[in-house]
Amino acid sequence: MKAKAVKIKDGVYWVGVLDWDIRIYHGYTLKGTTYNAYLVFGEDKTCLIDNTYPGTETQLWARIKDALEKEKREKIDVIVQNHVERDHSGALPQIHKKFPEAPIYCTEIAVDGLKKHYPQLKNADFIEVKTGDKLDLGNKTLAFVEAFLLHWPDSMFTLLVEDGILFPNDAFGQHLCYPQRYDYEIPEYVLMDAAQKFYANLITPLSKRVLKKFKEIEDLGLLNKIKMIAPSHGQIWTDPMKIIGAYKDWAEGKCKNKITIIYDTMHYSTQKMAHAIAEGIISEGVDVRMYYLHEDERSEIVKDILDSKAVAFGTPTIYDKPYPTLGDIIYYLKGLRFDRTGFKKLAITFGSMGGEGGAPEIIANELKECGFEVIDEYEIFYIPDEKELEKCYEIGRKLAKKVKEM
């Protein structure tokens, strides 16, 4: 196949893959993504930074060939692997097979991870790097910064010093698949919404580390050298401070006057309660997002929880327990640790029952374990009457008022 490389600076090309068709990735829903790989041409050496998902090698190779032809080069001399995960390393065996002399630069932890993923690379020349290590390509220098647990133990960032391009792999990424490569070429709302979803699902539990990493990069004197951020998914940031600022806000737990309601229902009573609570919130001028778990899924929901000051969870009781879909989102929240963003979110729970009930209380306890401050639980018998719906409205108003005071 034929595919064009995109020159992003003199001697630097995007050679990634457009995956138009992917709809789910480790439980994260998406409508396509890109696997971004980059070729850097120094005077002496050509370096490939990251690669792409298994099975996408044809497209990757077509772009690499195009870039090599444009720069009148024959081969890749060096490979940098910022992260082990398959969407960035899947093409490594094939690339390495073409250029077996090329050493693979990565962190110490990545060496083991890559060998475990790809036993055929057991004899490859791996070069372990640490923060502060540099690689001279001839008039272009790569500086490495370990990024332990951002987002895997093996992760690292690579900075192309002369051009101020940061290749942070998954950090600052977005699951978007556009033919355009830059931030300013697509609608800002789409870009930031995708970046927020990416942060919520992949970075939230690492929020404290994000802030520490920014400080470390600042202390190394590198932060103001970054002129462009070229992540491994989605658009390239030509305005680095925009996404760095957004990451700082999310990591510090800056939230909007916004409440996310999440519920499920069997006979629509809990749904009626959710709608009445929403009306109460709206009456106070606070924003609402509504998710019905029968239709909506966790990776989209947590995007809105990230910048909400409060959540409201609704569930009927079934066999003495909450409706099972609640378990999915609650377990996910337990892992995501929104409490690590440095902001205690408020919560309420509500629901309908026909016997002993108890589901809202169970969810309230789970939310407390996740670090939420639960301020109300409201349970009703079967179908909510007018008085009970009024109470839901008032509960919504009360929560909204608290949110405005935060």
Ligand X SMILES: Cc1cc2nc3c(=O)[nH]c(=O)nc-3n(C[C@H](O)[C@H](O)[C@H](O)COP(=O)(O)O)c2cc1C
> Can residue 319 be called a binding residue for ligand X (CB under 6 A)?
yes
CB 83 within 8 A of CB 152: yes
> Can residue 267 be called a binding residue for ligand X (CB under 6 A)?
yes
How far apart are CB 271 and ligand X at their closest, in Å? 6
**Secondary structure element (H or E) that encloses residue 384, with its range:** none
What's the rounded Cα separation, in Å, for the pair 95 and 331? 39
How far apart are CB 364 and ligand X at their closest, in Å? 16
Among 55, 331, 382, 406, indicate the residue that binds ligand X (CB under 6 A).
382
**Residue 52 carries which side chain, given as an amino acid letter?**
T
Q: Which stretch binds ligand X (CB under 6 A): 33-41, 170-178, 260-268, 333-341?
A: 260-268
Residue 213 exposed, middle or buried by CB count within 10 Å (0-12, 13-18, 19+): buried
> Can residue 268 be called a binding residue for ligand X (CB under 6 A)?
yes
Q: Which stretch binds ligand X (CB under 6 A): 114-122, 170-178, 243-251, 312-320?
A: 312-320
Residue 74 exposed, middle or buried by CB count within 10 Å (0-12, 13-18, 19+): exposed
What's the rounded Cα separation, in Å, for the pair 147 and 231? 14
Task: Give the 3-state secondary structure of residue 389.
Answer: helix
Among 265, 299, 308, 341, indicate the residue that binds ligand X (CB under 6 A).
265
Q: Residues 335-374 vs ligand X: string with x where CB under 6 A?
A: -----------------xxxxxx-----------------
Instruction: For residue 303, count other CB atoms closer than 10 A to its CB.
Output: 21
Residue placing its CB nearer to ligand X in the complex, 173 or 384:
384
Residue matched to tokens 């490495």 = 144
Residue placing its CB nearer to ligand X in the complex, 158 or 271:
271
For CA atoms 151, 93, 16, 8, the dihedral sign is positive
Structure tokens, 283: 């009456």
Residue placing its CB nearer to ligand X in the complex, 299 or 325:
325
Residue matched to tokens 């890109």 = 34
Among 128, 320, 369, 390, indicate the residue that binds ligand X (CB under 6 A).
320
Among 34, 317, 341, 349, indicate the residue that binds ligand X (CB under 6 A).
317
> Can residue 270 be called a binding residue for ligand X (CB under 6 A)?
yes
**Residue 35 carries which side chain, given as an amino acid letter?**
Y
CB 51 within 8 A of CB 95: yes
What distance separates the 2 farthest-apart alpha carbons in the chain? 78
> Can residue 316 be called a binding residue for ligand X (CB under 6 A)?
yes
Q: Is the peptide bond before 294 cis (omega within 30 degrees of 0)?
A: no
Structure tokens, 368: 């407390």
Among 246, 266, 290, 375, indicate the residue that binds ligand X (CB under 6 A).
266
Residue placing its CB nearer to ligand X in the complex, 250 or 313:
313
Q: Residues 7-26 vs ligand X: string with x where CB under 6 A?
A: --------------------
Residue placing its CB nearer to ligand X in the complex, 376 or 379:
379
Number of residues that bind ligand X (CB under 6 A): 18
Residue placing its CB nearer to ligand X in the complex, 321 or 344:
321
- Strand boundaries in 264-315, DSSP class E: 287-292, 308-314
How far apart are CB 316 and ligand X at their closest, in Å? 3
Residue placing its CB nearer to ligand X in the complex, 292 or 343:
292
Q: Which residues bind ligand X (CB under 6 A)?
A: 265-270, 316-320, 352-357, 382
